[in-house]
Amino acid sequence: MTLLADVQAVHEDADLLVLQKPAGLLCVPGRGPDKQDCLSARAQQQWPGALIVHRLDQATSGLVLMARHIDAQRRLSHAFAERQVHKRYQAVVWGLLAAQEGAWNEINLPIAADWERRPLRVIDPAHGKPSLTRWRLLGHHPANGTSRIELEPVTGRTHQLRVHMAAVGHPILGDALYAPAEVQTLAPRLLLHASHLAFAHPSNGESVALEWAADF
């Protein structure tokens, strides 16, 4: 049996793990023998019994929270469902965003499944679910016509950040699903990274806040 690669933890205790997921790695196994290497399988080799609480897209890097036992998984899953877990992402997007640096803005566009092109999502005012993203400008890169931004998903729809940024005309660089070809080729990977995770510890209620800076 081939041993899977180790994953790094930025936080580890008896109840939970916060792991660094690299871009290109699935969070859970997919269909087929070539899709069994994933973050949860690697974590379970190092921390037997580790349980998934939430996921990131395969193309996205960043912090992922896992539980060490079923009670912690239940409590943390409830916190996600009640929007008590705060996540922030960093991204590089196409275009020079016309916004005041550091000021928060909102994208409030309903998202629905694109049934004919699954797993893609679309903006659908008639049938989409309410979807809210907060974002702020961190800086411009005039030389290549891009902007660095921080994103905060208030809701948690599939592909929400990617869909919302593409919908307002600023797709994320390297996005193979929602960016036009010329924007896809500007980066070797999707430039989206889950950089911040904050929540109440499921055992004692103490605040936990963790960071992992993007490497792009």
In angstroms, what CA-CA distances link 21 with 110, 113, 155, 190?
28, 26, 21, 13
Residues 153, 163: Cα–Cα separation, whole Å: 12
User: So which residues are the catalytic ones?
Assistant: 57
**211: helix, coil or strand?**
strand
Enter the tokens of residue 66: 């896992």
Contact assessment for residue 189 and residue 214, using Cβ atoms and an 8 Å cutoff: no
In the block, which residue shows the tokens 């891009």? Answer: 146
Residues 22, 7: Cα–Cα separation, whole Å: 9
Residues 83, 77: Cα–Cα separation, whole Å: 10
Residues 18, 129: Cα–Cα separation, whole Å: 29
Q: Which helix (H) or strand (E) holds 141?
A: strand 132-141
Residues 176, 165: Cα–Cα separation, whole Å: 14
Contact assessment for residue 64 and residue 21, using Cβ atoms and an 8 Å cutoff: yes
